[in-house]
Amino acid sequence: MFTGSYVALVTPMMDNGDIDYPALEKLVQFHIDHGTHGIVSVGTTGESTTLPFDEHVQVVKQTVKMAQGRIPVVAGSGANSTAEAIFLTEQLADAGVDGFLSVVPYYNKPQQRGMIAHFTAIADASDLPIILYNVPGRTVADMLPETVAELATHNNIVGLKDATGDIARLKQTQPLVPDNFVMLSGDDATSCEFLCEGGHGVISVTANVVPEAMAKMCDAALQGDFATCKEIDNTINELHTGLFIEPNPVMPKWALYKMGMMRTAHLRLPMVAPELASKNQIEAILKKYALIAG
């Protein structure tokens, strides 16, 4: 479990900010139909930082209900407060999720010992598997390979989403963790190289827009067909860049809106709609890939 292409799913919203559950169901079906291996519900791409707890829990529960066991669902349950992360984990323990994704606490800048204490406390709060998430570009704090190795000794901590974009970090971590510890790329631009160097999959923003391509890229790499993995990646690399020209999830939401997958591209403040130049740039890429008419 937790190998292949997991989509970091956006949370669709109406213009008034309410969750658009019909659009969410459409997105879940879209991923099932196009081979996505799993869904991450209300991770940071799903705007977890601006959804209140009750809404966060409800979106995850509805995603599980919509998936109907046809595809694994991992719940985002991270927070910069350990108590809040434990609360979310406990609230979602009986939601039918297959595991949790928990991000390094943001803003606090915890020490490595603080990260170990934080994630150990969360892992002790549930019997479900937990994937660590290191994204220092967003959290500032960077979880080092030795810290990952110590946390990997906990029975419930089963993997790492590495969004450093540094393949050297993957190579530093691999010898320190068990063979069955899942290494997942959280950086689409380097995900192909990550897979070819022994990674087990991705938690992908790009998969929101081209789920079939990301799934096939992962399948190829996991089968040892690195030439096909690279070939597929070369066909979608402009999306890897275009979807990040403004802070995530601004551009994937706009892309999905233009593709007719969502009725609006609404974001919770403080995130706002992309600039006109950004809209034009991503729409040109979508037209190039025949994802919208043009």
Q: How far apart are CA 57 and CA 88, in angstroms?
A: 8
Paired tokens of 262: 């969502």
The single residue of 6, 106, 133, 257 carrying the catalytic annotation is 133
72-to-172, 205, 273 alpha-carbon distances in Å: 29, 17, 31
- Tens digits of residue pLDDT in 86-124: 999 999 999 999 999 999 999 999 999 999 999 999 999
Position 1 scores a pLDDT of 81
Please give the CATH topology (third level) of the domain spanning 4-236. Answer: TIM Barrel (3.20.20)
The residues, ordered by sequence, that sit 6+ positions from 278 with a Cβ below 8 Å of its Cβ are 245, 246, 250, 251, 254
Phi and psi based region of residue 293 (left: phi greater than 0; alpha: psi -120 to 50; beta: remaining): beta
Position 117 scores a pLDDT of 98
- The parts of the chain modelled with pLDDT lower than 50 are none
- List residues forming the annotated binding site: 45, 203
Active site residue 61: no
Position 294 scores a pLDDT of 80
Active site residue 279: no
Position 75 scores a pLDDT of 98
The single residue of 61, 161, 216, 279 carrying the catalytic annotation is 161
Position 82 scores a pLDDT of 98
Model confidence, pTM: 0.97
- List residues forming the annotated binding site for pyruvate: 45, 203
Q: Shortest CA distance to 267 belongs to which of 75, 80, 60, 50? A: 50
280-to-81, 250, 251, 254, 267 alpha-carbon distances in Å: 38, 14, 11, 11, 19
Position 226 scores a pLDDT of 98
